[in-house]
Homo-oligomer: A and B are copies of this chain.
Amino acid sequence: MAAAALEQSKETIASRVVDALRDDIITMALKPGDVISESDIAGRYGVSRQPVREAFIRLAQQGLLLIRPKRATVVKKISPVGVRQSRFIRESIEVEIIRRVAGQPSDDAADVLARLIADQEAASDANDSRRFHTLDELFHRTLARLAGVEYAWQLIDDHKMQLDRVRYLTLGVSSTQRAIAEHKLIVEAVAKADPAAAETAMRAHLARAELLLNQTITDFPDYFE
């Protein structure tokens, strides 16, 4: 794991440590089950234990770390049950969002979404799966904005980190072509102002995460509870 010096630009040391650790966890530089300690991380980044401790608290609340008092702090293993329930939450909210958007589509909704899909195709052609992932996220976030509940997306974002770890393990595996086709189906339904079709398309799209999860559990059993 890269003991890179923290970027000196941010506000407090504690928040820099939070960002650095979260990135390490999501990118699997810190693996589920890894044991870390305050003094360990403190020494690695050349800061005192106090800001590291506060970073641990924040990340523990986000479900990425597990602080076992007087014992140790470990990178939380991924809970299949938790991931499935996160997916349930996401599906509930995104279905409600797509119903709203398709029910009362704004004038430029379809245009904006179509443009995003075009970008995704470009990223797919360039085999840039990292960028594709970013655009995929932006697509869903844009839907939330169009429904007037962008704040709700922040919630999904928080609880999506678990699934993001799974996704990172399978970067390049997932079929971008298929995801794009599904996005197109969703946008078509929005253009036709057909909420029922939009809901069906969205559920089908999100259902693929279940397959991804099952595949990953068999590939990396040690990372799961």
Contact = CB atoms under 8 A, between A and B. Distances in A.
A68 to B, nearest CB: 12
Contact of A57 (B57, B69, B88, B97): B57
Interface string A146-158: 0001011001000
A82 interface: yes
B155 A69 contact: no
A12 interface: yes
Interface residues of A, number: 25
Given A12-B69, A91-B96, A92-B92, A85 B151 contact: yes
Contact of A152 (B12, B85, B97, B151): B85
A155 B156 CA distance: 11
Interface in A106-159: 149, 151-152, 155, 159
A25 to B, nearest CB: 17
Interface string A62-94: 100000010000000000011001001101110
Nearest to A70: B12
24 contacts: A11-B69, A12-B69, A57-B57, A58-B61, A61-B62, A81-B151, A85-B149, A85-B151, A85-B152, A88-B93, A88-B96, A88-B149, A89-B93, A89-B152, A89-B155, A91-B96, A92-B92, A92-B93, A92-B95, A92-B96, A92-B97, A93-B93, A155-B155, A155-B159
